[in-house]
Chain A
């Protein structure tokens, strides 16, 4: 339960997350209040999933008799014009894992995560989110996920409070519930003082934090985070990590992309390496890195450091 990097989880924070992360009953209340959300599909989702039984139990999420995996990708292909961005990605993310997707720039990490999140449609292939077929029931699948994209804007003319309210209201949560969770989340992410300010005035790290808080507000089963630690200072990223660890410990699943190998190695339980739109390695951290460090293994998989030939002019100075 304690964070991997030795920062103990703040108990207040943990309790705040407990209230957010995992209450099946509250989910059902939400459905009753907001009939707009896929009533035909939702009950089925809950039936097919025995996941939450394990939630209160800190000890052994990994040893549970395997429930439907949090995410299954089968042979996902996506091309943008002539560019083949994803060339048959297949992977499986078990419930309760902290899953890292790594790869060099332009390898297709963001495209993969966008397809998982339902922001892009794959050309072919199957996506199953916690047992729900995302192609057949996109709305039901989206309800299960919280999303933090990397390069996208947010509605940054809203104040922090308004933005969190917007996140919650779009998910169909009743206003009183949104306001309650806003207070909890703001406290957990240390944003209470900033809620009244317009989000465009936030620093990069604060924007990340408020968007992550927004991704959590409807207590999703799966968090899809694209570069959650980019532009975030070490203090904030330690705080975010605490929150994510608590979330995973309570049965949530985190899928994140990063190009910080050291961080992935430290934080994630499993990792997938994507190079040029193909999956080249997948497994627990130990399986993937073998004898060397993850970074060395990664460089090896990607195909060695770039050649220096053709840059001879750089070896003499022009002045």
Chain B
């Protein structure tokens, strides 16, 4: 059986070169890119041989752990269909345990894994050069590769169980954003570290922790052994335990797949639901999905978000001209971005125009309406802030200020959302009707629009005053105030959000008649 499956695996690999020319081109280009990346990485890795042992350890452990994590997460994010899915072997009545072994072995024969093997070999060479024994280096490389392959197998299986056929483009997009939210800040943090010849302190701490985690232990133990204490043995044990645990998990998955059949798919018809298949099937979830569709498809929302980069840039220039030091001015735009994100949905309801009758006639309660409408802005704003804050802090130059900035942004953003939830239910004002040019503004009578715009923005600033104050203290006097700003910021922001959504929900439920009259009038 082993030979059969391996031959099948090879045939599948070669099959990538057959068929639709476009697909083949894409595959070839992807493969070449991967090859180039591998060569570059190997070359860079072999280049660190001259560095100190500590630097070699730090680099190999960090990169190894990152790669392992990538192998574990990629199958979940990328929604790949596994050609060697154990479920496909269900009809052949094979014994599960040998099949699990065979499929794990066949998992070695894929283009990414070949790149990984090349990297592992280079790492082993570097370890030996840095003083590790040859035998430990070889064992580490083997364990490292095995860990990655098994992680990928198990992740594929688990993804299959969790998501089933519900994998949609939307879900993959969300997961990819989630990965970016983690990767970019880490990358910015690393890039901003001071590398002069030694391993920077913060990175050393991270590496020390990674060395004893399932994802980092395999890459850590050869050089830990050179220290002569028990840490090497501990890392080796963790690495071996990881492989064994993953092996058992894979075995259990294969057994599960071979001995069970999926429920007759009620999800078969879910195709074509887009965001609606990602959210929970509650009224609030449906409102969230509908809002997401509109945020991404309706140009009026897009034009609104344009205010954010403009505001970010426009606020820095005068500050710089006025002589504010550049490292302080670097922190200002992200605060405005957070403020404007919180302010954006303050008139959300008006964009529905008369279609809001659906919510009214269905007897939708206020809470699902309010919460659902906040989902798209959270999906958009949180990644932007998660990327923007580290970049700002890196430009500022002092990482100790980061907690304070996070706190102020949380306070501005969340309290803005809370106040917006009240404003959009209590006093919507006319906007461009659906389908018309977003740059064309409707006739507005009275000043209700300006009032609610100003109230939401000033209100968010007012409740954020405490965290702003402590951030200022952290900047000018004592850096200890930064953590205070963090907690105060989160507390006020989330507090105002909860209260605001509750009030907004009550207002919505109470005022449905008025809301319809507004929708008809505008």
Please give the residue numbers on chain A whose beta carbons come within 8 Å of chain B beta carbons, in ascending order. Answer: 34, 36-38, 114, 117-121, 138-143, 145, 147, 149, 151-159, 161-162, 165-167, 169-172, 174-176, 178-179, 182-183, 195-196, 200, 214
Contact between B272 and A196, CB atoms less than 8 A apart:
yes
Cβ of A158: which chain B residues have Cβ within 8 Å of it? 290, 293
Q: Does B443 contact A (CB under 8 A)?
A: no
Contact of A170 among B286, B434, B435 (CB under 8 A): B286
| Interfacial residues of chain B within 265-306, with CB under 8 A of chain A in the complex | 266, 269-270, 272-274, 276, 281-283, 285-287, 289-290, 293-294, 297-298
In the complex, the chain A residue whose C-beta lies closest to that of B268 is A179
Please give the residue numbers on chain B whose beta carbons come within 8 Å of chain A beta carbons, in ascending order. Answer: 266, 269-270, 272-274, 276, 281-283, 285-287, 289-290, 293-294, 297-298, 352-355, 357-365, 368, 434-435, 512-513, 516-517, 519
Contact between B273 and A165, CB atoms less than 8 A apart:
yes
Ordered nearest first, which 8 A-B pairs have the shortest CB separation?
A: A175-B281, A169-B286, A142-B363, A121-B513, A170-B362, A152-B354, A139-B363, A147-B361
Cβ of B286: which chain A residues have Cβ within 8 Å of it? 165-166, 169-170
Contact between A162 and B363, CB atoms less than 8 A apart:
no
Q: How far is the CB of A179 from chain B (nearest CB, A)?
A: 5
Contact between A120 and B290, CB atoms less than 8 A apart:
no
Cβ of A167: which chain B residues have Cβ within 8 Å of it? 358, 362
Q: How far is the CB of A7 from chain B (nearest CB, A)?
A: 30
Give Cα A142 to B352, complex, Å: 20
Give Cα A159 to B397, complex, Å: 49
Give Cα A214 to B363, complex, Å: 14
Cβ of B290: which chain A residues have Cβ within 8 Å of it? 155, 158, 162, 166
A-B contacts, 18 listed (Cβ < 8 Å): A118-B512, A120-B516, A121-B513, A138-B512, A139-B363, A140-B363, A142-B361, A149-B361, A154-B358, A155-B352, A162-B273, A162-B289, A169-B285, A170-B283, A175-B281, A178-B281, A179-B266, A214-B358
Cβ of A174: which chain B residues have Cβ within 8 Å of it? 281
Contact between B298 and A157, CB atoms less than 8 A apart:
yes
In the complex, the chain B residue whose C-beta lies closest to that of A179 is B269
Give Cα A284 to B298, complex, Å: 48
Give Cα A280 to B360, complex, Å: 30
Contact between B435 and A152, CB atoms less than 8 A apart:
no
In the complex, the chain B residue whose C-beta lies closest to that of A165 is B276
With A166-B286, A169-B285, A200-B435 known to touch, is A153 a contact of B353 (CB < 8 Å)? yes
Q: How far is the CB of A224 from chain B (nearest CB, A)?
A: 9
Q: How far is the CB of A34 from chain B (nearest CB, A)?
A: 8
Give Cα A158 to B272, complex, Å: 10
Give Cα A172 to B285, complex, Å: 11
Contact between A138 and B363, CB atoms less than 8 A apart:
yes
Give Cα A165 to B286, complex, Å: 8
In the complex, the chain B residue whose C-beta lies closest to that of A117 is B361
With A157-B293, A162-B273 known to touch, is A118 a contact of B355 (CB < 8 Å)? no
Number of A-B contacts (CB under 8 A): 114
Contact between A155 and B362, CB atoms less than 8 A apart:
no
Contact of A149 among B269, B283, B352, B357 (CB under 8 A): B357
Cβ of B298: which chain A residues have Cβ within 8 Å of it? 157
Contact between A152 and B273, CB atoms less than 8 A apart:
no
Contact between B273 and A120, CB atoms less than 8 A apart:
no
Q: A175-B270, A179-B269 are in contact. List 5 more A-B contacts (CB 8 A).
A: A37-B363, A143-B363, A145-B361, A162-B293, A169-B286
Give Cα A155 to B276, complex, Å: 14
In the complex, the chain A residue whose C-beta lies closest to that of B297 is A157
Give Cα A118 to B272, complex, Å: 32
Cβ of B512: which chain A residues have Cβ within 8 Å of it? 118, 138
Cβ of B434: which chain A residues have Cβ within 8 Å of it? 153, 156-157
Q: How far is the CB of B289 from chain A (nearest CB, A)?
A: 8
Cβ of B355: which chain A residues have Cβ within 8 Å of it? 152-156
Q: How far is the CB of A141 from chain B (nearest CB, A)?
A: 8
Cβ of B354: which chain A residues have Cβ within 8 Å of it? 151-153
Cβ of A162: which chain B residues have Cβ within 8 Å of it? 272-274, 276, 289-290, 293
Cβ of A138: which chain B residues have Cβ within 8 Å of it? 363, 512
Give Cα A141 to B353, complex, Å: 24
Cβ of B283: which chain A residues have Cβ within 8 Å of it? 36, 169-172
Contact of B361 among A119, A161, A178 (CB under 8 A): A119
Cβ of B294: which chain A residues have Cβ within 8 Å of it? 155, 157
Give Cα A217 to B33, complex, Å: 51
Q: How far is the CB of A202 from chain B (nearest CB, A)?
A: 14
In the complex, the chain B residue whose C-beta lies closest to that of A139 is B363
Contact between A159 and B361, CB atoms less than 8 A apart:
no
Contact between A169 and B281, CB atoms less than 8 A apart:
yes
Cβ of A121: which chain B residues have Cβ within 8 Å of it? 513
Contact between A171 and B365, CB atoms less than 8 A apart:
no
Cβ of B353: which chain A residues have Cβ within 8 Å of it? 153
Cβ of B368: which chain A residues have Cβ within 8 Å of it? 36
Cβ of A34: which chain B residues have Cβ within 8 Å of it? 282
Contact between A142 and B272, CB atoms less than 8 A apart:
no
Contact of B363 among A118, A157, A176 (CB under 8 A): A118
Cβ of B435: which chain A residues have Cβ within 8 Å of it? 200
In the complex, the chain A residue whose C-beta lies closest to that of B363 is A142
Give Cα A159 to B271, complex, Å: 12
Give Cα A171 to B272, complex, Å: 21
Cβ of A119: which chain B residues have Cβ within 8 Å of it? 357, 360-361, 513, 516
Give Cα A196 to B273, complex, Å: 9
Contact between B266 and A176, CB atoms less than 8 A apart:
yes
Give Cα A120 to B281, complex, Å: 28
Cβ of A151: which chain B residues have Cβ within 8 Å of it? 354
In the complex, the chain A residue whose C-beta lies closest to that of B519 is A152
In the complex, the chain B residue whose C-beta lies closest to that of A119 is B516
Contact of B273 among A140, A154, A161 (CB under 8 A): A161
Cβ of B519: which chain A residues have Cβ within 8 Å of it? 152
Q: How far is the CB of B164 from chain A (nearest CB, A)?
A: 14
Cβ of B516: which chain A residues have Cβ within 8 Å of it? 114, 119-120
In the complex, the chain B residue whose C-beta lies closest to that of A148 is B361
In the complex, the chain B residue whose C-beta lies closest to that of A122 is B513
Give Cα A250 to B71, complex, Å: 58
Q: How far is the CB of B68 from chain A (nearest CB, A)?
A: 37
